[in-house]
Every structure is written in structure tokens, then in C-alpha cells.
């Protein structure tokens, strides 16, 4: 069985029992191909920062000014952290020979092309040639926006006698939305391989006798914001890799004693015992029972990673016994076979 076939954990089965239904569901863990298909010709990566720092509102005062200054700081530190997160993640990908952070690209080359929000291909080709890279990963933008809310509350505070007493207070909540966009440019085909936007949120709370003290009481906010920003870059790098996914498959548990008993065996993790019972009925004189048994044999073969046999059993269930569910399942299996072929290509570099 290929190591990229569906993996099945008997001890971790999730059964969803639906009363009055002839079927139950089983959850399988699959390995899906990356949504980003990187050409085998791409060996050298350049990373650029196309984002623009926001302007500070000069007329802000008090708490709003402090929050605006923090957003400006985050824009600088956060985007660098996101770029670092992507850089570190790409370093782990053995498909690439080199990863370069391109900090010296002329600002004029990073302007968007007329009529769209992408860098011109002439500029991309010039950057690639100057830095000897095959493709450009660009941070298109980085944005952090904070919403401030304040409510009245109370808090314990020492009085002049150093005895803690309850005093009126205010609680401040800062909700910061971090958003950044990424693009991958491949000049060899003048193709933008991928465009993606990450969103993350950080909620911070503080309490004090006034708004400013409540704001200052918030601990670790900057570190949390930077770490959240770094994770967006890291997550984008992981987007280039195959990923685990949970999918549901139905199987028949009603119709005769064998189907009923096999369903109980599945619940106890005995797939082999269930398949033995199902196989006894694949030629049952009752076409409804035979169709369900063949369908279940398709499911067990998919679980075991044999998609070809699974498709054969699903085809038999539909064509020989007119099991309508089998036709829909056959389309699912065909799609899985196509996805597995893409997966094999991605991991065979």
C-alpha cells in the first residue's frame, strides 16, 4: 500500500449513527495534494515585500493615539515576522535548492502593473534575472486594524492602609485583525501560481481605574501580535505541502443478518471480520442485499488503499444491482484517484 494512500485508524473511528437509515458513516483520514502546484522547474525562490506601511494619524489623541502607534509598530514588526515565517518554512521544503530574502529590490520594480494589483511581468523577470531565482513569492500587503471597546467594571485595589478594596474601573478590549496577502509569480509562463489571503485575530483585555491604565495593564500583546503574524507566513509555506483531511464514507448496515452483524464489527474496529461477512453476500439472490454488499466492499477497499478494486466493486454494485448510491460513490473514487496521482507527482520531486 502506498504511504500516501488513505490511512485508517481503527481505534479512532468516528461513527455517526443515524436512526431510521440503512447506512452509517465512517471517517477516514486522507492525504490530499497541495492546492498549490509548483512546477518541477522551480528550484530557486526569491521572497519580496510589496506591502506598504500605513500612515499614522497625526490628529489622534490619548488612547487612540497609543493604539495607532502600536498598529504602526505592528505593521513594521509584523510584516517582517510574516516574511520570516515563510522563509523558515520554505527552507524545510527539499524541493527547493535555495531560498533568498530579496531586501535590495529597487522600489520602482515593485509598483503594480497598470490596471491591476500585480507586479508587471517585465519587473518580475528583471528581479529573477538579477537575483538568479526562478519564482517570486510576494507579500502583496500587510494590514493590522484594531477595534477598541471600553466598559465599566470594578477591580480590587489597595487603599492607603494597603487593604484591598473594590473600586470603580474600566475594562478595555482590543480586537486586532491581521490580514496579509500573498502571490507567487512564475515568469517562465507569465503565471501567477497562487493568490491567497490569511486572516488572524488577536483579542487582548486589560483593566484599570481609567482607559490609559487599562491599556497599559495588557500584558504580552506585542509578542502575541508578532507571533500571530509569523504564523501567517509559516502557514502560507505549509500551503505548498500535502495536508491531512478527514472524509466521511457511508456503508450499509441493514438488509440482512450479515449486514447487521458486520456493522457491529465495524463499530468495534474489526474491519477484516466485517469484510468477510460482506463478501458472502456479493452474489446474494436478493439484488438489494448484493448491491449493498458490493458497495461495502468498495468502501473497505478504499480504506485499505486499493482504489482500483474499490472502483470495481462500486461499478458492480451499480451496474449489476442498480445501487444508485454506488454511482455517486464511483465519482468520489474517481476524484480520489486523480488527486492521488497529483499527490504522487508532488512528492516524487
pLDDT at position 55 is 60
CA 96 vs CA 67, 132, 139, 243, 343: distances in Å: 40, 13, 19, 19, 17
pLDDT value at position 345? 79
pLDDT digits (tens, 9 = 90+) for 60-95: 567 888 888 887 888 889 899 999 999 999 999 988
For the record, the C-alpha cell of 132 comes out as 538568479
Checking if the pLDDT of 104 tops 60, the result is yes
Cα gap 284→21, rounded to integer Å? 21
Q: Where are the alpha helices (DSSP H) in 37-182?
A: 62-91, 121-131
pLDDT of residue 58: 57
Residue span(s) of the chain under CATH 1.25.40.10 come to 10-33+243-347
pTM reported for the whole predicted model? 0.75
Distance between first and last Cα of the chain: 20
CATH code reported for the domain at 10-33+243-347:
1.25.40.10
Mean pLDDT of the chain: 87
**Closest by alpha carbon to 65, among 73, 53, 77, 57?**
57
Does position 18 have pLDDT exceeding 60, yes or no? no
Instruction: Answer yes or no: are the C-beta atoms of 239 and 209 closer than 8 Å.
Output: no
Report whether pLDDT(288) > 90.
yes
- Cell numbers describing residue 122: 517585465
Q: Give one DSSP letter per residue of 219-256, joined into a string.
A: -SHHHHHHHHHHHHHHHHHHTTS-EEEEEEEEEE--SS
Enumerate residues 6+ apart whose C-beta is below 8 A from 242: 4, 31, 32, 33, 34, 343, 346, 347
- In the chain, residues under CATH classification 3.30.160 are 44-238
Residue 217 burial (CB < 10 Å; 0-12/13-18/19+)? middle
CATH number of 44-238: 3.30.160
Task: State the greatest distance between any 2 C-alpha atoms of the chain, in Å, as a whole number.
Answer: 92
pLDDT of residue 53: 67
Amino acid at each position: 500500500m502506498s504511504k500516501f494512500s488513505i490511512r485508517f485508524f481503527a481505534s479512532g473511528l468516528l461513527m455517526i449513527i443515524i436512526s431510521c437509515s440503512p447506512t452509517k458513516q465512517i471517517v477516514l483520514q486522507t492525504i490530499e495534494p497541495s492546492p498549490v502546484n509548483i512546477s518541477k522547474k522551480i528550484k530557486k525562490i526569491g521572497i519580496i515585500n510589496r506591502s506598504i506601511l500605513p500612515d499614522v494619524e497625526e490628529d489622534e489623541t490619548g488612547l487612540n493615539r497609543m493604539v495607532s502607534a502600536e498598529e504602526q509598530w505592528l505593521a513594521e514588526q509584523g510584516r517582517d515576522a510574516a516574511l520570516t515565517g515563510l522563509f523558515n518554512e520554505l527552507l524545510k521544503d527539499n524541493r527547493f535548492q535555495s531560498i533568498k530574502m530579496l531586501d535590495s529590490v529597487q522600489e520602482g520594480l515593485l509598483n503594480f502593473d497598470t490596471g491591476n494589483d500585480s507586479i508587471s511581468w517585465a519587473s518580475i523577470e528583471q528581479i529573477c534575472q538579477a537575483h538568479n531565482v526562478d519564482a517570486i513569492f510576494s507579500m502583496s500587503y500587510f494590514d493590522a486594524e484594531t477595534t477598541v471597546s471600553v466598559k465599566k467594571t470594578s477591580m480590587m485595589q489597595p487603599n492607603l492602609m494597603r487593604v484591598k478594596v473594590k473600586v470603580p474601573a474600566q475594562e478595555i478590549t482590543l480586537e486586532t485583525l491581521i490580514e496579509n496577502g500573498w502571490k507567487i509569480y512564475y515568469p517562465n509562463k507569465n503565471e501567477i501560481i497562487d493568490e491567497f489571503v490569511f486572516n488572524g485575530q488577536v483579542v487582548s483585555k486589560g483593566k484599570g481605574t481609567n482607559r490609559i491604565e487599562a491599556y497599559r495593564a495588557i500584558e504580552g500583546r506585542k509578542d502575541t501580535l508578532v507571533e500571530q503574524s509569523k504564523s501567517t507566513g509559516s502557514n502560507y509555506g505549509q500551503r505548498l505541502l500535502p495536508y491531512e483531511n478527514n472524509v466521511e464514507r457511508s456503508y450499509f448496515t441493514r438488509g440482512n443478518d450479515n449486514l447487521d452483524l458486520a456493522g457491529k464489527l465495524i463499530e468495534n474496529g474489526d474491519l477484516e471480520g466485517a469484510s468477510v461477512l460482506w463478501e458472502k453476500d456479493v452474489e446474494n439472490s436478493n439484488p438489494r442485499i448484493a448491491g449493498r454488499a458490493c458497495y461495502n466492499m468498495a468502501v473497505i477497499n478504499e480504506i485499505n488503499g486499493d482504489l482500483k478494486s474499490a472502483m470495481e466493486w462500486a461499478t458492480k454494485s451499480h451496474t449489476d444491482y442498480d445501487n444508485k448510491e454506488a454511482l455517486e460513490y464511483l465519482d468520489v473514487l474517481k476524484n480520489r484517484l486523480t488527486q492521488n496521482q497529483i499527490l504522487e507527482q508532488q512528492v516524487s520531486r
